[in-house]
Amino acid sequence: MDKLLYDAVVLGGGLAGLMSAHEIASAGYRVAVISKVFPTRSHSSSAEGGIAAYVKGNSDPNDNPDYMTYDTVKGGDYLVDQDAAELLSQKSGEIVEIMERWGTLFNRQPDGRVALRYFGGQTYPRTRFVGDKTGMALLHTLFERVSGLSVDFFNEWFALDLVLDEKRVAGVLAMEMKSMEPSLFKAKAVVLATGGMGMLYAHTTNAYINTGDGYAMALRAGAALKDPEFVQFHPTALYPSDILISEAARGEGGILRNNKGERFMARYAPKKLDLAPRDIASRSIIIEIREGRGFPGNYVGLDLTHLGESYIKERLALAYEAAMNFAGVDATKEPIPVRPAQHYYMGGVDVDITGTNGDLQGLFAAGEAACVSVHGANRLGSNSLLETLVFGRETGRTVVEYLRTHNESTSTTLEGEAEKLLEQAYSFVKSESGIHFGEIQNKLRQVMWDDVGIFRNEDLLKSGLSEVEKMRTQVKEMYVTDKSKVYNTEFFNALELRNMMDLAVVISKAALVRTESRGAHFRTDYPERDDKNWLKHTIAYLKGNQVEIGYKPVTLTRWQPEARVY
């Protein structure tokens, strides 16, 4: 096995990973970015609606970072760590200005300053955008910027596992997908920026590559996930292909209508109406459909027609294009067919406000892979792009500090550890018969959607958990039919499925244990939020077949829990 030596390894070439790498490289350290796709193919490229930011001198005159923090805390149903949310708000303007200087082509106001729009749950409009391809614009800017620094990119390299030296992360085992050759990347610090896990669900707006690898790698290495039961569903995914119709569509004035033409959000969120946060809007849509007010095929309409053709085509180009290309609907003339789909993962590798994981020395995480936690039980739209950049940078800086103050691992057993991990991965290729990944994957996605989805209860969760546990055993008997030695994507899909299983079992268990409803976690058998017993973070470990659940207090600074009405 080849060995490569770095100061730090960043897993993930999305916004969070690139921003961390930028900081580490700028401080003069040797950093490798490993990504299973060419960085601009990362999921960050799909983000549409925008990035939230309070920019001094270019915001609503009544707005300030405190309102932004408050919106975030309330949006997250008080499971947000308020010190983290404060940091997010305070650094938001600076981050947007940096991206602007590096060349992101933000939409402009007539005077040339960056423009802004409303997003769900915002007291004042503060979302900055590039049409509705904000993620792509930011990701390209950042990738282009970082590719000009001395950062080594390992693109289309698949990370299998973290390599440990006692209680400390000392490297990463990864494989070049083209040659199928494994390498041990030795490093003092590893940043997990591997993004989300949408492929666990039958309906998702996420990229095909979002299989939760980072969460599973952390779990297998012995690190905890924080709040794993919190899965966000987006109310407006295009029917039937689940392509996201950005929240910007409602931000710009789009109206949800049922089959009677009613603006049904008036029933569920009388004040915020269609701009209610995602969990509320998602559940409202499902209720409408269940009660027979959806359209045949089970969807509702997102009406933009009153906005006018030119406005739609300019400000909501992607929504217009997606409806046209993928559903044959002209959004200037008729409502877009939409339904909820999995969208974002609030849970993640347990890190503090600096991006540091407390279980394993040398392990850091940022972006959707991490739970800092700024989103709590429910993320507000356009806060996630912001998080990737703000906390990507914070984490990069923490790593720089860590590199300054810590020595290299002197362990001589690392290679042996890496060999062992590789053997475990290869065990799939070796067997000559069994089931292949696809058979289990499709079933897993359906079980998670049906049983661990938008509406949960004890019966569903119990049966979901037992199904997932069964499948997890099956995965051990999985085999890979393809034996080719170049881009054996079946092999990597099998490893992804192993990761999905490790994560699925943790999500299901944590969801079963939390007997209350909060944000995106909605229990029909416990429909109320229960601050007395549950104003606390779930901390979950995976020990073999056991999920171990513990708790951590939520950091409250200035905002006491109040009823979450919109």
Partner 1 sequence: MVQEQSNLEQTEVVIKVKRYNQEKGEYWSEYKLSVDRFTQMTEVLRRVKTEQDPTIAYRASCHMAVCGSCAMKINGEPRLACKTLALDMVKKYGSNQITVEPMDFFKVEKDLIVDMDDFYARMFTVKPRLYPSEEVLKGNAESRLRPEDQKELWKFAQCIWCGLCVSSCPAVRIDSKFLGPAAHAKGYRFLADPRDTIYDERLKILGDSAWRCTYCYQCFNVCPRDVEPVTTIKKTRAQTRFLKDKTEVVKTGEKHVRAIYESIRDTGKLEEAKVYLTTYGLATAITDMLYTMRNGKMSFALIKEKKVSEIAQIQKLMGEKE
Ligand X SMILES: Cc1cc2nc3c(=O)[nH]c(=O)nc-3n(C[C@H](O)[C@H](O)[C@H](O)COP(=O)(O)OP(=O)(O)OC[C@H]3O[C@@H](n4cnc5c(N)ncnc54)[C@H](O)[C@@H]3O)c2cc1C
Residues 108-137, interacting with ligand X (CB under 6 A):
134-135
In sequence order, the 6+-apart residues with CB closer than 8 A to the CB of 454 are: 233, 282, 283, 286, 340, 522
Instruction: Report helix, strand or coil for 281.
Output: helix
Return the exposure string of 415-428: e unless at least 16 CB atoms fall within 10 Å of the residue's CB, then b. eebbeebbeebeeb
Residue number with CB closer to partner 1 (56 or 306) = 56
Q: Which does 144 bind (CB under 5 to 8 A by kind): partner 1, ligand X, none?
A: partner 1
Q: Please provide the distance, in angstroms rounded to a whole number, between the alpha carbons at the two ends of the chain.
A: 57
Backbone Cα Rg of the chain: 22
Q: Which does 158 bind (CB under 5 to 8 A by kind): partner 1, ligand X, none?
A: ligand X
CA distance linking residue 100 with residue 145, whole number of Å:
12
Q: Which does 298 bind (CB under 5 to 8 A by kind): ligand X, partner 1, none?
A: partner 1
Residues 137-196, interacting with ligand X (CB under 6 A):
158-159, 193-196
Binding map of ligand X across residues 369-408, x = CB under 6 A, - = no contact: x-----------xxxxx--x--------------------
- Positive or negative torsion for Cα 241, 210, 479, 180: positive
Strands (E), 166-310: 168-176, 182-186, 189-192, 225-226, 231-238, 255-257, 300-303
Residue number with CB closer to ligand X (59 or 92) = 92
Q: Which does 3 bind (CB under 5 to 8 A by kind): partner 1, ligand X, none?
A: none
Burial class, 70, CB count within 10 angstroms (exposed 0-12 / middle 13-18 / buried 19+): middle
- The yes or no reply on residue 367 touching ligand X (CB under 6 A) is yes
- The pair of structure tokens assigned to 270 is 């009388």
Residue number with CB closer to ligand X (131 or 512) = 131
CB of 498 to partner 1, least distance (A): 15
- The yes or no reply on residue 93 touching ligand X (CB under 6 A) is no
Q: Which does 34 bind (CB under 5 to 8 A by kind): partner 1, ligand X, none?
A: ligand X
Burial class, 24, CB count within 10 angstroms (exposed 0-12 / middle 13-18 / buried 19+): buried
Q: Which does 290 bind (CB under 5 to 8 A by kind): ligand X, partner 1, none?
A: partner 1
Residue number with CB closer to ligand X (17 or 517) = 17
The 8-class DSSP code of residue 121 comes to T
CB of 491 to partner 1, least distance (A): 10
Residue number with CB closer to ligand X (198 or 264) = 198
- The yes or no reply on residue 23 touching ligand X (CB under 6 A) is no
Of 126, 257, 278, 315, which one is the catalytic site residue? 278
Given a contact cutoff of 8 angstroms between Cβ atoms, the answer to whether 455 and 283 are in contact is: yes
Q: Which does 226 bind (CB under 5 to 8 A by kind): partner 1, ligand X, none?
A: none
CA distance linking residue 132 with residue 25, whole number of Å:
31
Place of tokens 């969070």: 16
CB of 442 to partner 1, least distance (A): 6
CB of 241 to partner 1, least distance (A): 6
Considering only 10, 22, 46, 391, the residue that binds ligand X (CB under 6 A) is 46
- The pair of structure tokens assigned to 1 is 């096995």
Considering only 20, 35, 89, 122, the residue that binds ligand X (CB under 6 A) is 35
Residue number with CB closer to ligand X (176 or 531) = 176
CB of 339 to partner 1, least distance (A): 8
Considering only 71, 81, 86, 213, the residue that binds ligand X (CB under 6 A) is 213
Q: Which of 384, 386, 385, 379 is nearest to 121 (CA)?
A: 379
Residue number with CB closer to ligand X (503 or 510) = 503
Residue number with CB closer to partner 1 (332 or 446) = 446
CB of 334 to partner 1, least distance (A): 16
Place of tokens 């499709």: 442
Q: Which does 350 bind (CB under 5 to 8 A by kind): ligand X, partner 1, none?
A: none
CA atoms within 13 A on the CB side of 489: 6
Q: For ligand X, which stretch binds (CB under 6 A), given 208-216, 423-431, 445-453, 520-528?
A: 208-216
CA distance linking residue 265 with residue 275, whole number of Å:
9
- The pair of structure tokens assigned to 550 is 């513990």
CB of 196 to ligand X, least distance (A): 6
Give me the long-range contacts of 486-494 (CB less than 8 A, separation at least 24).
486/178, 486/179, 486/180, 487/177, 487/178, 488/177, 488/180, 489/177, 490/436, 490/437, 491/180, 491/428, 491/429, 492/36, 492/158, 492/177, 493/437, 493/438, 493/441, 494/428, 494/436, 494/437
Residue number with CB closer to ligand X (10 or 512) = 10
Q: Which does 327 bind (CB under 5 to 8 A by kind): partner 1, ligand X, none?
A: partner 1
- The yes or no reply on residue 277 touching ligand X (CB under 6 A) is no
CA distance linking residue 356 with residue 353, whole number of Å:
7
Size of the site for ligand X (CB under 6 A): 47
Residue type, 442: N
CB of 220 to partner 1, least distance (A): 24
Active site residue 278: yes
Instruction: Report helix, strand or coil for 111.
Output: coil
Considering only 153, 344, 449, 491, the residue that binds ligand X (CB under 6 A) is 344
Q: For ligand X, which stretch binds (CB under 6 A), given 71-79, 97-105, 201-209, 534-542?
A: 201-209
Residue number with CB closer to ligand X (49 or 301) = 49
Catalytic residue numbers?
A: 278
Please report, as ranges, the residues that interact with ligand X according to CB under 6 A: 11-17, 34-37, 39, 42-44, 46-51, 134-135, 158-159, 193-196, 205-206, 209, 213-214, 244, 246, 343-344, 367-369, 381-385, 388
